[in-house]
Amino acid sequence: MLDKKIGILGGGQLGKMMCQAASKWNLNVSCLEASHDCPAAKACNQIELGSFKIHEDVLRFGQSKDIITIEIESVDLVALQDLEKEGKTVYPQARVIEIIQDKGKQKEFYKKQKLASSDFKLLESASEIKQQILDGHLTIPFVQKIRKGGYDGRGVLVVRSLTDLENLLEGPSVIENLVDIDKEISVIVARNPQGEVRAFPTVEMEFNPKANLVEFLLSPARISKKQEAESVELATRLITQLDMVGLLAVEIFISKSGDVLINEAAPRAHNSGHHTIEASYTSQYEQLLRAITDLPLGDPASISPAVMINLLGAEGHTGPAIYQGFEDVISIPGVNVHLYGKKETKPYRKMGHITVLASNLDEAIEKANLVKQKISITA
């Protein structure tokens, strides 16, 4: 298992942290990325130049590997299907990536498999949405999501009033009931080829309302034992019913009335699991490597309460990154700074993250607020 050649499609920060975990056991990992100047370059055995969106690049890259995995789901699917036909191991499997790439197929899967998620319908265009409203088949409020290609909230529109209809997105969409959200949480589960499943404890996500990016992530989530158990069960059922091997991050809404509903899932390492590097017995990155190399899964339990802060490029700054307050912040006990090595900062670009550990969550939140005041990324 330890001598298999692992290929990751993508060499961003998630790829980098996978490579860092791989280095613990000297695993052989290469990334397919457009430039040698990518975050993973400093951590992996090699960067192979190419695009994970181009069929022949993915095919060529995969043919020289034993196991192919992803750090992003917008990859060329047909190449992965072709690699599977050639007998290569692709984890997560191409059929899982196919479902995840299309929010419509995801919702249909949840419905068919009786996994709790908000009610929805699939519509083809903005004009069809308007027509449905006129005909009384669709009522405001609702949420429109472009089926393919959206990320970090781009491709999602919450329609609360008639004037919001002017901003409808063009293209085949999922139209979902608007959930009255109390909390957004995430559960990361792993499954190996033996069918063994382990779930990380739930974490709570707090969004930056302007950028729609996770600003703070709290571990553990401040939810009831029952909601925790229901969330872990949903995520476990999802990865099992997908018959998937690898790591699955399941984003869940806890509604104000207490319902536990799947929002969406990502079959890869996830922003909501960064803290596991320092705050868990096994990190999400190591767990993913264990799963895809057919090793026993590690213990996902938490060692410490934690708050994770995404380090986003400051508003109004574009250019070579300057890390203001870096030395102040690394001087605080329990503060772990990760910089991704992206040369250019842009407003809200994910430039790094910080995991703050403390003996209880309130203390970690307090320390995280201090850290946030002290550090900024400017140009």
If binding is defined by CB under 6 A, does position 215 make contact with ligand ADP?
A: no
Tell me, what amino acid is at 211? A
If binding is defined by CB under 6 A, does position 272 make contact with ligand ADP?
A: no
If binding is defined by CB under 6 A, does position 140 make contact with ligand ADP?
A: no
Select 63 or 132, whichever has its Cβ closest to ligand ADP.
132
Among 9, 90, 179, 356, binds ligand ADP (CB under 6 A): 179
> Radius of gyration over alpha carbons of the chain, in Å?
21
User: Which is nearest to 172 in space by CA: 197, 151, 152, 147?
Assistant: 147
CB 3 within 8 A of CB 19: no
Q: Provide CB contacts within 8 A for 35, sequence distance 6+.
A: 47, 49
Tell me, what amino acid is at 53? K
Q: CB of residue 81 vs ligand ADP: minimum separation in angstroms?
A: 23
User: Which is nearest to 57 in space by CA: 103, 11, 16, 24?
Assistant: 11
- Name the phi and psi angles at 283, rounded to 5: -80, 160
Select 204 or 286, whichever has its Cβ closest to ligand ADP.
204
Instruction: Give the Cα separation of 124 and 134 in Å (integer).
Output: 16
First to last CA, the chain: 44
Q: In the structure encoding, which two tokens stand for residue 214, read together?
A: 């996770």
Select 259 or 363, whichever has its Cβ closest to ligand ADP.
259
Select 47 or 179, whichever has its Cβ closest to ligand ADP.
179
If binding is defined by CB under 6 A, does position 153 make contact with ligand ADP?
A: yes
If binding is defined by CB under 6 A, does position 150 make contact with ligand ADP?
A: yes
Q: Is residue 360 exposed (0-12), middle (13-18) or buried (19+ Cβ within 10 Å)? A: exposed
Select 65 or 183, whichever has its Cβ closest to ligand ADP.
183
Select 88 or 350, whichever has its Cβ closest to ligand ADP.
350
If binding is defined by CB under 6 A, does position 264 make contact with ligand ADP?
A: yes
Q: Provide CB contacts within 8 A for 215, sequence distance 6+.
A: 206, 207, 208, 309, 310, 312
If binding is defined by CB under 6 A, does position 156 make contact with ligand ADP?
A: yes
Q: Other CB atoms closer than 10 Å to residue 141's CB: what's the count?
A: 12
Tell me, what amino acid is at 116? A
Among 73, 176, 215, 230, binds ligand ADP (CB under 6 A): 176
Q: CB of residue 49 vs ligand ADP: minimum separation in angstroms?
A: 28
Among 184, 215, 228, 278, binds ligand ADP (CB under 6 A): 184
Number of residues in contact with ligand ADP, rule: CB under 6 A?
Answer: 17
If binding is defined by CB under 6 A, does position 143 make contact with ligand ADP?
A: yes
Contacting range for ligand ADP; rule: CB under 6 A; set: 174-182, 275-283, 316-324, 352-360: 174-182
If binding is defined by CB under 6 A, does position 152 make contact with ligand ADP?
A: yes
If binding is defined by CB under 6 A, does position 178 make contact with ligand ADP?
A: yes
Q: How remote is the C-alpha of 49 from its chain's centroid?
A: 24
Interface contacts to ligand ADP, rule CB under 6 A: 118, 143, 145, 150-153, 155-156, 176, 178-179, 181, 184, 251, 263-264
